[in-house]
Amino acid sequence: MLRLQIHLTLPPWIGDVVDDGKRYLTDEERVGLAIELSRRNIEHNQGGPFGAAVFNGDGRVVSVGVNRVIPQTCSIAHAEMMAYMSAQQRLAAFRLNGDGNRYTLATSAQPCCQCYGATVWAGVDELLIGARAEDVEELTEFDEGPLPADWVGELERRGIAVRRDILREQARSVLATYGQSGRHY
């Protein structure tokens, strides 16, 4: 039967990790939350080793995401996609910064080609990244897919500032733990 509705969920332990009342003011605090989400996700055996969060201009969490590809049987359910979709639903805005405010996506690892594309249209002003794509491909079995040669420049020309290597070693250690576990999801 044709499905007329798509339903995606995040795991219930998310509420234990995210502090709704806190202002995450530094790049390290923001990427640190994304990395903590990635770590918890593999501890719970609920998806791949990736986490992400959207913050508003005050540094408060608007949404978070973790990789849900296997539990949701959905190839697009990457951490960044989940965070974007959740933020857009919460704010009832298909382009987050259409309201004139600033939004940031923090992610535990460099967006793959799918999440990179989504970042172009999501309406964020800043992209904060922990591990690099080469870290993901070195430490896990994941293929990050093709990106434009000047992928940072393409985002910056669209008004999205990119900062990389934030808590990179911490992000790498979660990827390494996952890679050494022998699990594949």
Counting Cα atoms < 13 Å in the Cβ hemisphere of 114 gives: 12
Closest CA to 151 of 179, 176, 127, 177: 127
Q: Return the range that interacts with Zn ion (CB under 5 A); candidates 24-32, 37-45, 110-118, 172-180.
A: 110-118
Inter-axis angle of helices 113-122 and 79-91, nearest 10? 20
How many helices, marked H, and strands, marked E, lie in the chain?
8, 5
Residues, the chain: 185
Asked whether position 78 contacts Zn ion by CB under 5 A, the answer is: yes
Asked whether position 87 contacts Zn ion by CB under 5 A, the answer is: no
Residue 80 dihedral angles phi and psi, to the nearest 5°: -65, -40
The minimum distance between CB 102 and Zn ion, in angstroms, equals 23
Nearer to Zn ion (CB atom), residue 32 or residue 51: 51
The minimum distance between CB 41 and Zn ion, in angstroms, equals 14
Query: Helices (DSSP H) in the chain: which residue ranges?
Result: 14-17, 27-43, 69-72, 79-91, 113-122, 133-139, 151-156, 168-181
Q: Encoding tokens for residue 100?
A: 């004139």
The mark string for 14-43 relative to Zn ion (x by CB under 5 A, - otherwise) is ------------------------------
Asked whether position 118 contacts Zn ion by CB under 5 A, the answer is: no
- Among 37, 54, 115, 167, interactor with Zn ion by CB under 5 A: 115
Q: Return the range that interacts with Zn ion (CB under 5 A); candidates 4-12, 78-86, 96-104, 131-139.
A: 78-86
In sign, the C-alpha dihedral spanning 61, 67, 71, 72 is: positive
User: How many residues of this chain interact with Zn ion, rule: CB under 5 A?
Assistant: 4
Q: Encoding tokens for residue 43?
A: 């501890």
Nearer to Zn ion (CB atom), residue 14 or residue 112: 112
- Among 112, 122, 136, 167, interactor with Zn ion by CB under 5 A: 112
| Binding stretches for Zn ion (CB under 5 A) | 78, 112, 114-115
